[in-house]
Amino acid sequence: MYKNYLKVAWRNLRKFKMYSAIKIGGFAIGIAAAILITLFVLHESSYDQHYANTDRIYRVINNFADPTREADRWPAMQPQLASVLEEEFPEIEKSGRLIPYDWYDAGSNQFRPEERVQNNYEEGFAYMDQSLLEILEIPMVYGERETALANPKTIVISQKMADKYYPDENPVGKSVILNEKEDRAYTIGGVMEDFPSNSHLQYDFLLTLTEEEFWEGEQTSWCCSNYNTYALLRRGTQTEELEPKLLSVRDKYLISHFEENGDVWAEKAKNYLTYDLVPVADTHLKSKEVYDVFPKSDIRIIRLFGAIAVFILLLACINFINLSTAKSANRAKETGLRKVVGSHRSHLIQQFLTESVLFSAISVGLGTLLARVLLPYFNELSGKTLSFPWTDWWFLPVLAGVTLLIGLLAGVYPSFYLSAFKPIDVLKGKLSRGTKAAGIRSTMVVFQFATSMVLIVSAFIVYNQMQFILHKDLGFDKEQVVMLQGTNTLEDKLPAFKDELLRLPGVTSAAASNYFPVSGTKRDQNSFWIEGRKNLDPGVGAQIWRTDEDYLSALDINLIAGRNFSPDIASDTGAIVINQTMADKLGLEDPVGARIENWGKWTVIGVVEDFHFESMKGGIGALGMIMSERGSILATEISAENIEATLAAITGIWDNFMPNQPIRYTFMDETFARMYADVQRTGNVFAACAILAIIIACLGLFGLATFMAEQRSKEVSIRKVLGASMSSLYQLLTADFLKLILISLLIGAPIAWYLMRNWLEDYEYRIDIAWWFFAVPGLIIVGIALFTVSRQALKLAFSSPVDHLRGE
């Protein structure tokens, strides 16, 4: 019996090739898109879930909730806090520290094994406590986790780095040198497995904090805040009960320190500073407001992508069900004949359901294969390294469930509705057209195109926001600027190296600094006061950069008051140039000549116009620049002509100065673009989803238009015989579809406006949502929909009435 069902299904598939191709192809595309987006959402949602005790590992976060300003949350803590928490609170089983900032040897370094001469520039260095290595239970390839960072001047390297520098050998016990400094020699204490891509920690080198003291008294100081603190809580500990207890640490140590030094921050901290315990698994998706160095995503965007996956799958399912139910009406006589020759209703139900599930299974299978083929391209589009989940426990059961569910839903109407008709009524042509079913199909078309409208409008706005950011005047010149990195290793030879570069015809300027102005890296802030007001006023948080006297002119930063640094003026070693924001926050109406202080005392000699040096998601912060001839980065402006020759000449000069250290450089505009790469990728995925949605919707519309043409062929033929014009027939056949499309646009537009308005609020500098962001996608959708419907409408309108009225 089932063999016959399959044979009939195969015959129908071949008989109605176009319908079958649209049904199966549209559903397969939807399945592929849903699988890929689901993999992306699951990956983003799985960050830091791989630790054995994920549910008990927390980060300690400062929460400064001053009602007169925007709340600040940051993870940088004092060096003693971790040990104090472990000693004074039995609820905390173990604590550990991490320094993830570009600080001393953390960040990036020149690196080489002791026995080699050639240096390599490597990134991904961080300081870590032995105890944190144990809390996170980082898997080891060589060495023991319990001792890998226990000794002073030890380092743990990743398996990737071990394979690079020590292929096919155990490097534990070997020595490495950082930045050509013998006092920065480390002994390899272990080799760890590479951090998975869904970890907020992405390091290749972990430097021990055992007996590390960066300056005298640093480890016992409560004024130094450079350590991220992690805590492993004992089982059963409730964070809402523990967090209030942590205030005793604040009062006993931090506030006491402020009071002993007569610091105004004592009162501020007492009133507004608390400690939050944030689950480590929330670092990536639920810590957007925490000011730290770890790349983050937005839980709202991930939820939106999850909804998009569901909607695209729904679009494809709607098409499949729509076309299945629409075409089933043409099989009414087949059903009547089968009943006449003795088929029971139960047999007809089984036949229709079997056919529907078979078509669904073919679609899901093709969609799964299509997703696997497209996965590398999707990885490139999304910036991820997703793998196909063939072996995941949930994957095949979910596919089987979707196959059965959609197959059964698509088969319910023909199997139960058609099988209930009396054969005599069917064979006499008394079968109802099914206005209720037509209404449901119309509703589904509206849903499809409303979803398409939301996605296309969203893609438009994301694209235009990115264009606005990438082309906005930053307040300095980022074009044709090459950032040479690692120039601090030149030490005293840096001025001579700089002079050599300036002799090149393709180099127009060069300036040393210690910071990429558009890297997106979060940097610690220093508190500044007007001299003499340190114990009276709250400090102004500001970044402090070290630059040479050519920095402002090299980047074309506008000096609006005072003067620039001069190496000929000895007092400029104690001078500072600040931006307008810092002058405003300090309340300096006439800043030039003012004296300010932080860990040192400075004379303001100049004020620069505000420029963007961090992400435009936030405003422009306070900034101070002090003079230094030694910088780790040399900003070199080159001409647009003969770029390759100029870069080759720069490389040749570097090799003469540093023969054992490869040159490393990047273009500033490319670095700036990378700062928004995650948002650009989000926009790309939106655009891809929008394209898929419109393709799926149009496939369904084409199928329904074909069905409509078949159903109304006699009506149109009679109208032609009675003298109806081609234009009136075209209008008749397309008007209903056009109404549905316009309704879908009216529904989709306000939804898109609401979603994008909320998204744009994350940016301090953003575009206005203009009317044309809705008009252009609307016209695109109407145009594509009319083109889709017009083919079948015109084909019917120009056909001969004889072909349709023969036999009437």
**How many residues are listed for the chain in this entry?**
808
Least confident of 420-434, 738-752, 762-776: 420-434
- Residue 299, classified by CB atoms within 10 Å of its CB into exposed (0-12), middle (13-18) or buried (19+), is middle
Q: What percent of the chain has pLDDT over 90?
A: 38
**Whether the predicted pLDDT of 202 surpasses 70:** yes
pLDDT band at 628 (very low <50, low <70, confident <90, very high): confident
Q: Which of 469, 581, 553 lies closest to 518, judged by CA?
A: 469
The predicted pLDDT at position 438 comes to 66
Given 675, 700, 721, the domain boundary residue is: 675
The angle formed by the CA atoms of residues 547, 548 and 550, to the nearest 5 degrees, is: 115
The pair of structure tokens assigned to 699 is: 């496939």
How far is 565 from 577, CA to CA, in rounded Å? 8
Asked if residues 511 and 634 have their Cβ atoms less than 8 Å apart, the reply is yes
**Which segment, 150-164, 464-478, 597-611, 677-691, is predicted with the most confidence on average?**
150-164
Given 622, 650, 675, the domain boundary residue is: 675
3-state helix, strand, coil split of the chain in percent (to 5) is: 50, 15, 30
Region 616-626: mean pLDDT is: 84
Asked if residues 170 and 188 have their Cβ atoms less than 8 Å apart, the reply is no
User: Which structural domain, as residue segments, surrounds residue 9?
Assistant: 1-47+309-432
Query: 713-721 vs 772-797: helix axis angle to the nearest 10?
Result: 70
Tell me whether residue 470 is in a domain.
no
How far is 10 from 683, CA to CA, in rounded Å? 42
**Whether the predicted pLDDT of 93 surpasses 80:** yes
Tell me whether residue 515 is in a domain.
yes
The pair of structure tokens assigned to 588 is: 């300096």
Which residue has tokens 């699988």?
35
Overall pTM > 0.85: no
**Whether the predicted pLDDT of 336 surpasses 80:** no
Q: Which residues pair with 61 in a beta bridge?
A: 276
The predicted pLDDT at position 5 comes to 61
Q: Which residues pair with 191 in a beta bridge?
A: 142, 157
212 & 95 share domain: yes
645 & 790 share domain: no
How far is 696 from 702, CA to CA, in rounded Å? 10
Which three-class secondary structure state does DSSP give residue 612? coil
The CA-atom distances, in angstroms, between 410 and each of 116, 320, 359, 439, 547 are: 69, 7, 10, 16, 69
398 & 545 share domain: no
The predicted pLDDT at position 523 comes to 59
How far is 623 from 242, CA to CA, in rounded Å? 37
Asked if residues 557 and 542 have their Cβ atoms less than 8 Å apart, the reply is no
Host H or E run for residue 77 = strand 76-77
The predicted pLDDT at position 338 comes to 60
84 & 139 share domain: yes
Asked if residues 710 and 797 have their Cβ atoms less than 8 Å apart, the reply is no
Given 263, 282, 301, the domain boundary residue is: 282
Tell me whether residue 467 is in a domain.
no
Least confident of 500-504, 527-531, 602-606: 527-531
Which residue has tokens 């830091």?
48
How far is 576 from 596, CA to CA, in rounded Å? 9
Which residue has tokens 């040399």?
634
Q: Which of 339, 481, 488, 300 lies closest to 424, judged by CA?
A: 339
Asked if residues 32 and 709 have their Cβ atoms less than 8 Å apart, the reply is no
The pair of structure tokens assigned to 375 is: 């996965």
Amino acid at 205: F
pLDDT band at 345 (very low <50, low <70, confident <90, very high): low
The predicted pLDDT at position 53 comes to 94
**Whether the predicted pLDDT of 331 surpasses 70:** no
The angle formed by the CA atoms of residues 792, 794 and 798, to the nearest 5 degrees, is: 120
594 & 716 share domain: no
585 & 687 share domain: no
pLDDT band at 329 (very low <50, low <70, confident <90, very high): low
Neighbouring C-alpha atoms within 13 Å toward the C-beta of 5:
18
The predicted pLDDT at position 95 comes to 97
How far is 97 from 87, CA to CA, in rounded Å? 15
31 & 93 share domain: no
The pair of structure tokens assigned to 573 is: 């070693």
Asked if residues 661 and 489 have their Cβ atoms less than 8 Å apart, the reply is yes
771 & 794 share domain: yes
How far is 624 from 386, CA to CA, in rounded Å? 42
Region 285-301: mean pLDDT is: 82
Region 272-287: mean pLDDT is: 92
The predicted pLDDT at position 422 comes to 53
The predicted pLDDT at position 341 comes to 54
Q: Which of 785, 711, 707, 741 lies closest to 442, judged by CA?
A: 741
Tell me whether residue 302 is in a domain.
no
What is the dihedral sign for C-alpha 744, 746, 748, 751?
negative
Tell me whether residue 289 is in a domain.
no
Tell me whether residue 588 is in a domain.
yes
The CA-atom distances, in angstroms, between 290 and each of 60, 64, 285 are: 11, 11, 11
Tell me whether residue 54 is in a domain.
no
Q: Which of 148, 151, 150, 157 lies closest to 126, judged by CA?
A: 157
669 & 692 share domain: no
The predicted pLDDT at position 165 comes to 96
Region 143-152: mean pLDDT is: 96
What's the distance, CA 478 to chain centroid? 24
> What backbone torsions phi and psi does residue 805 show, to the nearest 5 degrees?
-100, -5
Tell me whether residue 650 is in a domain.
yes
Domains contained in the chain, number: 4
Neighbouring C-alpha atoms within 13 Å toward the C-beta of 201:
30
360 & 259 share domain: no
682 & 665 share domain: no
105 & 207 share domain: yes
The predicted pLDDT at position 333 comes to 57
Burial 360-379 (b: 16+ CB within 10 A, else e): bbbbbebbbebbeebbeebb
Contacting residues for 417 by C-beta, under 8 A, at least 6 apart: 328, 434
The predicted pLDDT at position 808 comes to 54
